[in-house]
Amino acid sequence: MISTLEKEITFRFLKARKKDGFLNVISIFSFIGIGLGVAVLIIVMSVMNGFRTELINKIVGFNSHITVEPYEEIIEIDKLKKTNLNLISENLILSNSGESIIIKKDKSKGLVLRGYSRKDFSTLKIINDDTFVGNKNGLIENYISIGKELSFTLGLKIGDDITIMSSSGIETIIGSLPKKKTFTVISLFESGLADFDNNIAFINLDTLNEFFNLDKKDTNLEIYLKNPQNIEDQKIVVQKIFPNDFVYSWADMNSSLFSALKVERNVMFIILSLIIIVAAFNIISGLTILVKNKTRDIAILKSIGVLNKSIIKIFFLVGVIIGTSATIFGILLGVTFSLYVENLRQFLSNVFNISLFPEEIYFLSSMPSEINPTSIFFISLCSILITILVSIFPALKAAKLDPIKALKYE
């Protein structure tokens, strides 16, 4: 417990005095350094969490959560409704895909075609987005839905015809020739990720199977989950239902990307934590000077019977109060900046006429921010623990002071 005397002396030592000018400067820099370190950590962690969440939402919104590729047997959706799959899934869709080349006048590029039935196509999340343009129920034979990015690249609009060359061939008297088919653009979609919009298009499932010489047993099952974030546990459930098939999730398809994001976030946390550590060491300097300046006061306190443990508490509390108040200040500053980080980005971009967080690099039109209470708690805990550790040494030094030597020359 902390006595009233210890509290009174602690707050008296915290008050600024003219003769302690240099000491006050050190205390102020310690406070600002710790506060800014905590604030920067919260801002960076919030932006990286927001970026990760936005990226997941866009990837999950475009791709199925779990895909099952059969090796032999045909997947029948009706039979799956009686399994545990119905408890975790929101929608089950049959699909297939193939690689092709799109030809438009003097331009050509590689393209991945995905096949869906007209009914299933209209249920996709990306098709029900506000950015979708065209007929949602028009994915029938010889019609195609392309990304807006691809439409800009090739100068296409709804109603235009394009020729697509299949990677599968057709046997003729002169040998194998690639299949060609003309499709009419029926709609335009936008996922928010340029790579998807520029390289993937949708056509009818039956048309795709015929175009690539595929059988019904080659058809994949796309599983859309009720909770796509908790992917690992749900993937295990799906693997038990399909033990003889190849099962993979959206996380497996983008494992390298999210591993890189995780490593980057951890490295940033370690680097930025050094700001707090360096600032916290200023507390050692400040408290050491405070002990030197208060030598006479410490000697008088000891001479009137104040115990060494009380002296330790007093100087320990001085350091902890500075660190804790700086941490609280840093939390308020960091949370405020995290909430208005996009407004700040727009302001700096307009004032200095520079492009911060360009969309073509980060795939996002605005700077995302997601405040995570757990991260804030962990950052605050680390900051206060560092402050506690650096406050111990000066407090012990003050307690070891000999009152006789201290008052000898007074």
- Whole-model pTM? 0.69
pLDDT tens digits for range 175-220: 667 788 889 999 999 887 777 888 889 999 888 888 888 887 788 8
Sequence-separated (6 or more) residues with CB below 8 Å from residue 202: 113, 114, 115, 116, 121, 139, 144, 145, 146, 189
Question: Partners of 91 in the beta sheet?
Answer: 224
Question: Partners of 170 in the beta sheet?
Answer: 177
Question: Where are the domains positioned within the chain?
Answer: 4-56+257-408, 66-227
**Residue environment code for 150-170, b if the CB has 16+ CB neighbours within 10 A, otherwise e:** bbebbebeeeeebebbbebee
The larger pLDDT score, comparing residue 201 to residue 168, is at 201
Locus of tokens 């990307």 = 257
pLDDT band for position 360 (cuts 50, 70, 90): low
Q: How far apart are CA 207 and CA 214, in angstroms?
A: 10
Q: What is the mean pLDDT of residues 67-76?
A: 80
- Using the predicted structure, report yes or no on whether residue 297 has a pLDDT greater than 90: no
